[in-house]
Structure formats: C-alpha cells, structure tokens
Amino acid sequence: MAPKLDLLPRYAEGVLRILDEQVPEAEVWAFGSRVVGGAHEGSDLDLVLRNPGDLTAPLSGLGALIEALSQSTIPILVEVHDWARLPDSFHEEIEKKSLLFRVPVKPAA
C-alpha cells in the first residue's frame, strides 16, 4: 500500500502555493509521522527538498521559503530540509518511508 499524507487539503494547498512561489525548481518529498502514521492535529510536516538535476547541489531560496512558511496562516509547523545538506544515513531513512509531495514547476537553472 502506498503511503498517504495525513494533512488537511487546505493546509497542503497552502504549503504547495508557497513552495511554488519560493522554490519552483525543487522536487519536494514528505516524510515523518504525517506519512508513516501516528500524526496528530499538531504534528509538524516534514519536507525534504531536492535539486532534481543534481541531488548533491544545495538549493537556493531556503531561507526565504522558511520565512514565508513561518509568516503564513498555515497552523502547523513545516520543517524544511535540503537533501544535499543531509547525511547519507538520513537519505536512507527518508527513502524508506516518504512520498513525493510536489514535482518541480520549472526546471532548475
């Protein structure tokens, strides 16, 4: 059975809108309790952003993304991580139980 995101659609839409504005070139994966189960209303949303053209290249714009998420009206904490800055052991854990949250809306420059 494929993982399912435990997040109200209106919150997901708000996060997607901010991602589209701030990091349109990023591939975004969700992981953590909202994917594997056990989430509650106040659980955070864990996201990892990847540069689909080069997984080892850090993404630009993460600071602005984090600021936009914190200033939004989305009532949950959204934790954002850059794939290129995470250790390989964390990559392995994320790959085990994650789901694609958003494909890039424009190619990486």
Which one of 6, 20, 46, 82 is the catalytic residue? 46
Task: Give catalytic status of residue 54 as yes or no.
Answer: no
Instruction: Give catalytic status of residue 44 as yes or no.
Output: yes
Q: Which residue has the tokens 């689909």?
A: 52
State the Cα–Cα distance between residues 62 and 8, nearest whole angstrom: 24
- Active-site residue (options: 44, 54, 82, 88): 44
Distance CA 33, CA 38 (A): 6
Dig out the tokens for 53 from the structure: 């053209």
Residues designated as active site: 44, 46
